[in-house]
Amino acid sequence: MNRFFRLAAAVAVTALLAVPSFAQRGSADFSEFVALGDSYGAGVVSGSLNERHQVWSWPAVIARQVGYQLCQPPVGGPGCFSQPLVTFPGIGPELQLVNLAPTIAPAAGSGAPIMSNLPGSFNNLSIPGATVGALLTLTGGETPAAGEPTAVSMARFILRGRGTAVQQAIQQNPTFIAMWIGGNDALSAVFAGTPAVMTSAADFRTRYEAVLSALVAGAPNAGMVVGNIPTANLPYMQLIAPVVINPATGQPVPGPNGQPIPLIAELGDGTVGPLPAGSFVLLHARTNLATGFGLPNVAPFNALPNAGRPLPNGDVLTPTEYAAIIARVNEFNTAIRDAAAARNIPVADIKGLFDRVAAPGGYHIGPVTITAAPVTGGFFGLDFFHLTDLGYLLFANEYIRTINNAYDTEIPVASIAQLFANNGAFFPETGNDNIQITDEAISQIRTMWAQPTLKRIRRISVH
């Protein structure tokens, strides 16, 4: 039975068959549903792409809500929503809580793709690490090379040399397309510690326009929805205080004026000095801090080999650098809005979702409060920039609400109740503001890149 009509029979949502009451592209016919995106769309959780969480990717959540079953390995079956599943513990072993200190470490072993024999293209064409431009260029047939970007290695088993993500989406004759892309064009700045690596606003606009133009030309009658990019801080930027911490007490060391002593760093403008108020020390700085970078060359820090040397600029974001990132993301969102409006494509407000989660008091769903706090907030996973299963479900619900508003449909939003046992979150406060992360976990976090006023974690133990 046609999947779209199966949905109507199952949940009696006959409004899905109605002609849209808004001037939106195509119609809400999900008989051939395709999604494009990056690690968020792929369902990366806690630094890992694996089947335990891929089933909660935001495209998979939408697919279930409109009547699909998810394809099962090794090759799935007719009438299901297919994804490039990977066995647990995944590509990038999943980071897990070892104890409630809390200590975070990767699971043992590694995963492998299990859907490579799928006859056609995957319905979910999201590629961890993909930028907007990658949707137009990567095919999965690129020659392997040492140090290749994440997107290239991931595309090898997701796209499998069958054409670009855009081409493979069109080849499926989609009746509805959902896309979220641009996070890596923006948030690469967080891992590099500088806005200089971000895609230029002009290039982003050109590439985003090219993606939408190709999809519209190739699937002129398909319904479509896209989403904007959040500007809120990530927990990855919040876990290390930008001030000197007394290792014996875990408290900031006061200076002559009684205020905490800032860490010393390269400030990105050719100067070295104290970090200005409002600066961020990025999680990957932990390795350098452990050897004394950024710390004064006085007891007890002078026992560290690099005490007195500044943190590299790539370990920090100054207020000026962060403002440049925000300005660029705003330019990206303007480009998304303009490109979508010109083609009658509705835009899901993903930025608004992140803002609500990061707001004081968090995001309330009935009796449940979801925040951007690391570990306990429920929204961000243990790599502190990818979402939890719950986060992706809320992401999908933003898309569903946007589709309902634009196409006058009544697709039910997904319930959060099913997820409380699958996220490694919602732990009670432990009274300990230190998060210990093993060196191997830090390595996994740094290599698995796709991607508010948050609760401050005062320091990370740097044993």
Contact yes or no for 12/56 (Cβ under 8 A): no
DSSP 130: -
pLDDT in tens, 7-64: 433 333 333 333 333 458 999 999 999 999 999 999 999 999 999 999 999 999 999 9
Tell me which of 1 and 102 has the higher pLDDT. Answer: 102
Task: Decide: residue 74, CB within 10 A, 0-12 exposed, 13-18 middle, 19+ buried.
Answer: exposed
Tell me which of 261 and 4 has the higher pLDDT. Answer: 261
**Domain spans in the chain, listed from the N-terminal domain onward:** 3-234+322-447, 243-277+280-317
Q: What is the pLDDT of residue 456?
A: 27
355 pLDDT tier (thresholds 50, 70, 90): very high
Alpha carbons 35 and 124: distance in angstroms, whole number = 5
Coil, strand or helix at 379 = coil
pLDDT in tens, 236-255: 999 999 999 998 899 999 99
Q: Is it the case that residue 418 has pLDDT exceeding 80?
A: no
Mean pLDDT of 108-113: 93
Q: What is the pLDDT of residue 446?
A: 56
pLDDT in tens, 71-95: 998 887 778 999 999 999 999 999 9
Closest CA to 244 of 409, 14, 17, 458: 458
Superfamily of segment(s) 3-234+322-447? SGNH hydrolase (3.40.50.1110)
424 pLDDT tier (thresholds 50, 70, 90): very low
pLDDT in tens, 318-345: 999 999 999 999 999 999 999 999 999 9
5 pLDDT tier (thresholds 50, 70, 90): very low
Alpha carbons 293 and 284: distance in angstroms, whole number = 12
Q: Is it the case that residue 445 has pLDDT exceeding 70?
A: no
